[in-house]
Amino acid sequence: MFTVTPPSLSSHHHDKLSIYHRTTLTRNNNPLSLIPIPKSSLYLSIHTKSESHTQTQAQAQGPYLQQRLHKLCSSGNLNEALKLLQSQFHNFFSTSEAIGALLQACGVHKDIEVGRRVHGIVSDSVQFRNDVVLNTRVVTMYSMCGSFLESRKVFDGFQNKNLFLWNTLLSSYTRKELFHNTVSLFIELISSTDFVPDNFTLPCVIKASAMLLDVEFGEVIHGFALKIGLFTDTFVGNALIAMYGKCGFVESAFKVFECMPERNLVSWNSIMYVCLEKGLFEESYDLLHRLLNSEEGLVPDVATMVTVIPVSAALGKLEMGMELHGLALKLGLCEELKVNNSLIDMYSKCGYLCKAQVLFDRNVNKNVVSWNSMISGHSKDGNCFRTFELLRKMQREEKVTVDGVTLLNVLPACLDESQLPSLKELHGYAIRHDFQNDELVANAFVAAYAKCGSLNYTECVFFHGMKTKTVSSWNALIGAYAQNGFPQKALDMYFLMKDSGLDPDFFTVGCLLLACARLKFLRNGKEVHGFMLRRGLELDEFIGISLLSLYIHCAKTLLAKVYFDKMVTKNVVCWNTMITGFSRNELPYESLNMFRRMVSSGTQPHEIAITGVLGACSQMSALRLGKEVHCYALKAHLTEDKFVTCSLVDMYAKCGCMEQSQNIFDRVNVKYEASWNVIIAGYGINGHGLKAIELFELMQRSGCRPDSFTFIGVLTACNHAGLVTEGLKYLGQMQSLYKIKPKIEHYSCVVDMLGRAGQLNEALKLLNELPYEPDSRIWSSLLSSCRNYGDLDVGEEASKKLLELGPDEAENYVLLSNLYAGLGKWDEMRKVRQRMKEIGIQKDAGCSWIEIGGKVYRFLVGDGSVLELKQIQKTWSKLEKKISKIGYKPDTSCVLHDLEEEEKINILQTHSEKLAISFALLNTTKGSTLRIYKNLRICVDCHNAIKLVSKVVEREIIVRDNKHFHHFKYGFCSCGDYW
């Protein structure tokens, strides 16, 4: 906006203007006006008096007319304003000011028709057609009305342009986002005129280069500003900061900021916003502290607070957010709507919804952003009921208009099939209010229906609800399938996308890699990797993580590690992927090493990394390392996370420390299903079946409903404790009482339970009645039981099925070989072993791990390269002599080879758990507990020997094999010799 003070008119010009208007009005109303009138002295005398009276009257009416015109312009009654201007043209105190005010109002109200008529008055007037101020107003009016062709035509037709007029058109182009026009006009200005751009010209052009992401042109303007001495100007400096930040040149933005001789609050706000946009959250917060402590005496305003409050939300630092809230209170800015909305959003994203709700309820001037922030908080928290309740209240009580962002915030609350009715209700609303043409909203509905498991609706929205399908639309569909358990569908949709003529982008590739990972389609995944290399997409962070996930899911951990080591930038998600990937692929030692590398690199581990490394400690029964990770989690304030808590309960349970596991479980304030499931399973695998059942009953009484995983824990407990009757009872309760359909994992527990109890025919009968096709795990457990009980008939039937399902699995042949060897059928055993040689597979060697002093040591059966081997052998020989005196006799039936008795005894002495115990006795203090993890089932001889060793050395020895926990103490085992 600007105020025009018209130049004073000479009496000569004033006479000409009066005659012009008088003539025009006369001609319009009286056709006889063309007849010449004799100019007698009487006429001249009368006319002179009349003219003098008119001038006096105009001076009296001028302020009133001016005020009336402004009121009409303000109310948007522009036709009446134009009539007033035309009828009282010569009576206005300042006609040019009146014309300018009306032109400005035409621009504000987008009334181009009235604007054109006012333009006609200007162009027809001899006095005003060359008035630079009014022509500037005309140019601005056309620009504001969106008619840039007319705006440019007026500009080009005006002969006496000044820099102000050039700046006006430049500003109009920039304001309406016609950035190419801005650049072209600027080049025309400096190449065809002698005007020197000023501190209004350059910010417009710098903004245009920023929005075009043309940093090279921006640098040219930067150099130009230096050349003409405008670099020190605050407006130019602020524009340069924004430009460099927008183009991603944060360092250059900081250099401009630091070199500015004078900074205003906009300068500080601009550099803080650059940091926020580029993820430099700590730097943005530090800048606020610098601003508060600077000598410039600047006080943060609304823009400052709105820029810096999201920093605490991005970092998840509630304390920082509360400090900023306190600062806003101190500055009296909390009542500002934008600040209040930012605080609501911050508290919601930090998980402090109660505080967000208080601020929301106190806000009497809520707008759609306020509601969207609150809805988003509850939606991301998974509270579907509260999310939809707020949405309805927003419309019904507050009558705030829902926008596309509202819908995008509500949809994440629809997570499973139970929320499908609410999702359909929301979809109907979107269709009625014409949101279905919003691509982002349509894509979000595609994803939401997929999450709720409704493939029909997913495809219906996509194929019938979208008029135009872009790459982003296809990505939404492919991503929805890939991320919600339909990987094959994701691949199918990709091929349809290709057939439609669209090429994938980096997001498509990431989704395809995820689908290949879940399907374990390594070959297809490698093809996608090749496509990435050809398109240069491998450097993308999202795709890099997806590629790591592919190789890990396909058990190609070496390829994943090679790719990971080549990555230049490793964010926390990359580290998490590797740590959890090694752990899931039963490579706990590698998982621990990766965790150590992560900490050494300076990357702060989050909850996912902690759960991954605790899982690795669980696999190795590495108690000391697990305790160290526990301490780290405590110091990093991560133990409040429910997943970390469950991992700690699980880790201590799998290290045989049920007391510590129970302590952590007891300290959990809100016990979710997962918490109960872990503690029940922990007692189950440690052989405390009755305790597991007791907790299961307590879980139900506490109001927590058992799920499918709960029953796996309960059935496992019954299996390990030999509680067959109870196990069958709970299998029945699953279906009759809880309406949970048993899965193959549940039947596997029951079949193993029956087989271990010697009820082989009942186990086989259950197998034949299964609603599923039995998998190799079930037949494997049955065959193992047949070996224990010497049942050749059932064993051979089980082995036949097992070899059909897994013809290349070494374990299947070993179980059959052991069955024949246990029954003394050596010829049959040799045939099985020969078959293994022919197809090129071999039995896994027995391996045991033990942790001493934070380091994990590994022992292989018969391994001659073990450190201190001679001392270990001597130690075991001494132990064997001691335990022989109290009843130990080698059980050579465990050696499944046709050898002499003495050779069998020698083999027994080299079993890996015996080597681990001997090494531990040499390197640990007296009385300390020994914890050993073995990859195979412990043999009868080792079980008998270790029972007696625990008695003679007066120590507790905990051995965890691949099936069970054995707590050896005082010559007894917790399993009661049932395993």
pLDDT digits (tens, 9 = 90+) for 707-717: 999 999 999 99
Which one-letter DSSP state was computed for residue 854? T
What's the pLDDT tens digit per position in 285-310? 999 999 998 888 899 999 999 999 99
Per-residue confidence (pLDDT) for residue 268, from 0 to 100: 95
- Whether pLDDT at 953 is above 70: yes
Nearby residues of 195 by Cβ (< 8 Å), 6 or more positions away: 162, 163, 166, 189
What's the pLDDT tens digit per position in 885-908? 999 998 877 676 667 778 888 888
The residue among 685 and 21 whose pLDDT is bigger is 685
Residue among 746, 742, 690, 700 at smallest CA distance from 720: 690
Lowest average pLDDT, out of 185-189, 417-421, 673-677, 930-934, goes to 417-421
The residue among 366 and 807 whose pLDDT is bigger is 366
The residue among 540 and 55 whose pLDDT is bigger is 540
Per-residue confidence (pLDDT) for residue 50, from 0 to 100: 43
Which one-letter DSSP state was computed for residue 851? E
> Could you count the other beta carbons within 10 Å of the beta carbon of residue 363?
18
- Whether pLDDT at 697 is above 90: yes
Please give the Cα distance from 57 to 61 (Å, whole number): 6
Where residue 263 falls among pLDDT bands split at 50, 70, 90? very high
Per-residue confidence (pLDDT) for residue 321, from 0 to 100: 92
Q: Which residue has the tokens 């590739």?
A: 509
Per-residue confidence (pLDDT) for residue 898, from 0 to 100: 66
Q: Which helix (H) or strand (E) holds 967?
A: strand 965-969
> For the residues 379-406, what does the mean pLDDT come to?
84
DSSP string, 38-83: ---HHHHHHHHHHHHHHHHHHHHHHHHHHHHHHHHHHHT-HHHHHH
Where residue 200 falls among pLDDT bands split at 50, 70, 90? very high
CA distances from 639 to 631, 647, 652 (A): 9, 10, 14
The residue among 92 and 710 whose pLDDT is bigger is 710
Where residue 11 falls among pLDDT bands split at 50, 70, 90? very low
> Could you count the other beta carbons within 10 Å of the beta carbon of residue 556?
17
What's the pLDDT tens digit per position in 829-880? 888 888 888 787 777 788 898 888 878 888 987 766 666 788 998 999 999 9
What's the pLDDT tens digit per position in 272-282? 999 999 889 99
Q: Which helix (H) or strand (E) holds 266?
A: helix 265-277
- Whether pLDDT at 590 is above 50: yes
Lowest average pLDDT, out of 56-60, 76-80, 417-421, goes to 56-60
CA distances from 41 to 48, 184, 919 (A): 11, 62, 138
Where residue 125 falls among pLDDT bands split at 50, 70, 90? confident
The token duo for 512 is 């395809």
pLDDT > 90 in the chain, percent = 40
Where residue 505 falls among pLDDT bands split at 50, 70, 90? confident
Per-residue confidence (pLDDT) for residue 94, from 0 to 100: 75
Per-residue confidence (pLDDT) for residue 581, from 0 to 100: 92
Which one-letter DSSP state was computed for residue 742? P
> For the residues 641-657, what does the mean pLDDT come to?
92
CA distances from 319 to 324, 347, 501, 633, 937 (A): 9, 10, 51, 19, 51
For 825, counting Cβ atoms within 10 Å of its Cβ (0-12 exposed, 13-18 middle, 19+ buried), the class is middle
Where residue 93 falls among pLDDT bands split at 50, 70, 90? low
Greatest Cα-to-Cα distance within the chain, rounded to the nearest angstrom: 156
Per-residue confidence (pLDDT) for residue 38, from 0 to 100: 35
- Whether pLDDT at 33 is above 60: no
How does the average pLDDT of the chain come out, rounded? 85
Nearby residues of 553 by Cβ (< 8 Å), 6 or more positions away: 517, 518, 520
- Whether pLDDT at 750 is above 90: yes
CA distances from 411 to 308, 404, 481 (A): 28, 11, 16
Lowest average pLDDT, out of 54-58, 128-132, 813-817, goes to 54-58
Q: Which helix (H) or strand (E) holds 120?
A: helix 112-124
Q: What are phi and psi of 332, to 5 degrees?
A: 70, 30
Per-residue confidence (pLDDT) for residue 547, from 0 to 100: 87
Per-residue confidence (pLDDT) for residue 359, from 0 to 100: 92
Lowest average pLDDT, out of 498-512, 649-663, 809-823, goes to 809-823
> For the residues 2-8, what does the mean pLDDT come to?
35
Helix 522-535, helix 541-553: angle, nearest 10:
160
> For the residues 180-207, what does the mean pLDDT come to?
93
> For the residues 768-772, what does the mean pLDDT come to?
87
Most confident of 535-539, 783-787, 925-929: 925-929
Residue 841 near residue 819 (C-beta atoms within 8 A): no
The residue among 419 and 218 whose pLDDT is bigger is 218
The residue among 206 and 893 whose pLDDT is bigger is 206
Per-residue confidence (pLDDT) for residue 886, from 0 to 100: 93
> For the residues 97-120, what does the mean pLDDT come to?
90
Per-residue confidence (pLDDT) for residue 345, from 0 to 100: 92
- Whether pLDDT at 64 is above 60: yes
